[in-house]
Structure 1
Amino acid sequence: MTQPPHDEPTAQSPEELREQVENTRSELGDTVEALAAKTDVKARAQEKAGQVREQVAGVAGQVSAKAADVAHQVQEKLPGTVKDTAARAGERARDKATEAGRLWEEKAPEPVRRQAARSARLSRDNKRTLLLAGGGATLLWMILRRRKK
């Protein structure tokens, strides 16, 4: 058994010794729990994946809203044949997005697909809130960007 450090007093009675042992056990338990949490790579990875998903969903909403707005503005200004070309380009973009979604379903690990599906469901259920938040963030970004100039 090791001797206690010289700056710490030793227990004067068996009760004090029991109390010190119990405190040490409690501290050791807390330390073991903290180490276990740090070594739980799967939980940490899932937490990080959730954060990234939220960021991607936010950015995707902003980009989608902005792209739809720009596409609408462009279509209003273009002559008929160019509008047709723009429509075909939009169809191709949808096809590519569909293909990307299919590849995602084939290649992504099952837990990630389940979580992504859950996030997509939440996004669909809260579409108005997400669009308002995305529009507000875009507007704020544009105002701040304009002030910097």
Structure 2
Amino acid sequence: MTQPPHDEPTAAGPAELREQVEHTREELGQTVQALAAKTDVKARAQEKAAEAKEQAAAKAGELKEQATVKAGELKAKAAEQARAKTAQAGQLWEEKTPDPVRQKTAQGAQLARHNRKVLLAAAGVAAVVWLACRRRKG
């Protein structure tokens, strides 16, 4: 017979010995299961693949969110640049255009604002005439 380890007490009777044997069997079974799980390469590879898939999905979500934020920032920046360019063009118009041309342009714009219905009707008539001429040619 072998000697029990020094850190475990010896059994006082047969019942206690059976209990110790059963406990040792359970521990041994758990150890065997753990070793079997470590040697199951296919299962471990599937677990790693599932982990990688979850990480990739999480990263894709983060990148999508970052792209949305960046797109919003770029859109705001482009709008601001467009406003600045428009203001710059207006200022250039004021500086470079001769007074008579500016006055005539202002009068034309004012006339168009006051006569919107007439202007829209004239545009509609012009469109109808254009379409009619186009049909005759085709």
Same fold (TM over 0.5): no
- TM-score w.r.t. the length of structure 2 is 0.43
Answer with 1 or 2: which has the greater Rg. Answer: 2
- TM-score w.r.t. the length of structure 1 is 0.40
